[in-house]
Amino acid sequence: MSVSEISPGGTPLGAGATIALEGGRKSRSNLTQSRIKFAILGLFLVFGIISMKLVQLGVSDVEGRVNGQARDVITASRPAILDRNGMELAMDILVPSMFAAPRRIIDLDEAVEKLLVEMPEKSESWLRAKLDGDEGFVWLKREMSPAAQNRVFDLGIPGVDFRTESKRYYPGGSIASHILGSVNIDSQGIAGVERFLDKQEVEVLQATGLARGRDLEPVALSIDLRVQNAMHAELVDAMERYQAIAAAGVLLDVTTGEILALVSLPDFDPNAPASALEEGRFNRITAGTFELGSTFKTVTIAAAIDAGAVNITDEFDASQPIRFGRFTIDDFHGKERVLSLPEVYKYSSNIGTIRIMQALGKDNYRAFLTRVGFDDPLGVELPETKRSTIPRECSEIVAATASFGHGLTITPLHMASAVGAFANEGILVPPTLFIRSPEQARAVARSVISPETSAYMRYLMRLNALEGSGKITDTIATGYLVGGKTGTADKVIDGQYDTTKNRNVFTSVFPMDNPRYSMLILVDEAKRENPQSGRTAAWNAGAVTGRIIQKVAPMLGILPNFNEAVDQNLVTIELR
């Protein structure tokens, strides 16, 4: 070993250098590990703070109210509404709504100028008042389109943002508007079934004391959307064809009371609830009461036969008008002879019907109107209902005119239910817009006439379709064994009957060999379709009924039957 390789202390220089190098590396390694540990600890602290903040936000009530409305009410979803076959009638969709935090607005003038482009319906003063404040949240525009949302985003205005809300959407538009009703901007029901569902929820909450919270299970109605579409299309056509000012119809299952279709025109688009406020857009089936004319002859004859006051083989003198003081009542197309009871019905004789009512007695007749439910409020699940207007006590002339449908007003749904009962072995089942099982129907059903009287009424209704005012209906709906009665009522204008303006009605049941469905069609102020036609109910309400049955009977599983023996079997034993 040379002198240069030995340190002054006698230690080789190479060994000392190696020891110093290894010590430096170890020191730097420890420092790096310490820094990594501090960094990891710092990250844990940051994530811990973030997690605590998220938990805090999750459990705290941040701005629980917006413009006086609870946030859970504003953003609440509603259950889907389906028809009886699962087709959607109403649903919720997600849409953006624009809001602002005025205290975060940097340049008020710029914000107002830019936003007015997307909100032309608002005034500059309104928008400025909204944005010129210290609030943390104000609505600017609810339920916007995604395209409009993107345009506002591109404006880049600080303090303006969007919140996703539920918007009620009705795929069919006006098709079932008077059934469904509509909701307001805060998704609260304001009419129809929508309002009924909210009312039911409130009643349940009040009864149980539970906190508010919607059951989002779909709600199934008794409506058949196929039948609803067919009825709506035919009534729209009727208004155009007969230049009518209004039209309405309802079809129900006489065995369960389920309403399969309900239409009232003019209607509205529930996607634009304000359209419901336009003139004449009310539900004529449940919220309108009318003189329904000669359809009441079905009620009068059923009452008299059931009480034993008259027999199906009886005859009535209709050769002369009937006088009540200074009033004279005559037939529209009188035969001026003695008529059998079936002829009174077939020829729609006012005189003969009065004779039948007189045999029953006016007080008994008035009591029968109560028995069939005309005095009762409609139990159907719609807020838009009206009570009948029937004199509590009837004089001789009031009872006489009431026997053929003048001087008293009822809702069309009352009449459709009663006529259905007359064909259904005399069993009246209250109408409903919800699916009802046969067991549930039996629990609420009641008898209003005997099965024997019901058999007579089926015969009379079918006879009228074959030989009377329902011939046009039967010709159009041939094979479906329809039976029914027309009613042509002069409208009351300024307190007097106007013979130039009619409200026409046709009540029907089909198929008469096994009655299942009852229907009422109303056409208001119908004109002649052509010079060869008339303007009474047979020409319009009756024809519309035939066209609807022709369309919907196959949908309901009813096959046409051309066996003449079926009609022969409806003839009562006394008349064979």
pLDDT digits (tens, 9 = 90+) for 273-325: 999 999 999 999 999 999 999 999 999 999 999 999 999 999 999 999 999 88
My answer on whether 248 and 192 are in the same domain is no
Is residue 40 included in any domain, yes or no? no
- Is residue 386 within 8 Å of 287, Cβ to Cβ? yes
My answer on whether 476 and 499 are in the same domain is yes
Distance CA 427, CA 380 (A): 18
pTM: 0.81
- Is residue 13 within 8 Å of 7, Cβ to Cβ? yes
Is residue 314 included in any domain, yes or no? yes
Residues in the chain, overall count: 576
Region of poorest pLDDT, from 61-75, 209-223, 538-552 = 61-75
Which residues lie closer than 8 Å to 505 by C-beta, 6 or more apart?
Answer: 290, 292, 293, 295, 412, 415, 486, 487, 488, 489, 520, 521, 522, 523, 537, 541
Boundary-marking domain end, from 220, 254, 276 = 220
Model confidence at 202, pLDDT cuts 50, 70, 90, reads confident
Burial class from Cβ neighbours inside 10 Å (0-12, 13-18, 19+) for residue 45 reads: exposed
Distance CA 36, CA 310 (A): 107
Rounded average pLDDT over 62-67? 42
My answer on whether 375 and 271 are in the same domain is yes
Domain assignment of residue 311, given as a range: 227-508+515-575
Model confidence at 35, pLDDT cuts 50, 70, 90, reads confident
Is residue 27 included in any domain, yes or no? no
Is residue 51 included in any domain, yes or no? no
Q: Which long-range contacts (CB under 8 A, 24 or more apart) does 387-391 make?
A: 387/289, 388/289, 388/414, 389/289, 390/366, 391/366
Q: What is the CATH number of the domain that holds 198?
A: 3.90.1310.10
My answer on whether 152 and 101 are in the same domain is yes
Secondary structure class of 43 (helix, strand, coil):
helix
My answer on whether 215 and 234 are in the same domain is no
Is residue 5 included in any domain, yes or no? no
My answer on whether 182 and 309 are in the same domain is no
Is residue 37 included in any domain, yes or no? no
Q: What is the CATH number of the domain that holds 494?
A: 3.40.710.10
Boundary-marking domain end, from 220, 245, 278 = 220
What's the confidence (pLDDT) of residue 166?
84
Which residues lie closer than 8 Å to 189 by C-beta, 6 or more apart?
Answer: 78, 181, 182, 183, 195, 196, 197, 198, 199
My answer on whether 321 and 366 are in the same domain is yes
Rounded average pLDDT over 199-224? 72
What are 101's two structure tokens? 């935090």
Residue type, 547: R
My answer on whether 169 and 268 are in the same domain is no
What's the confidence (pLDDT) of residue 106?
87
My answer on whether 304 and 206 are in the same domain is no
What are 452's two structure tokens? 């024997």
Which residues lie closer than 8 Å to 521 by C-beta, 6 or more apart?
Answer: 235, 247, 248, 249, 505, 506, 508, 541, 542, 544, 545, 548
Boundary-marking domain end, from 220, 247, 262 = 220
My answer on whether 207 and 235 are in the same domain is no
My answer on whether 423 and 571 are in the same domain is yes
My answer on whether 98 and 235 are in the same domain is no
What's the confidence (pLDDT) of residue 51?
66
Domain count, the chain: 2
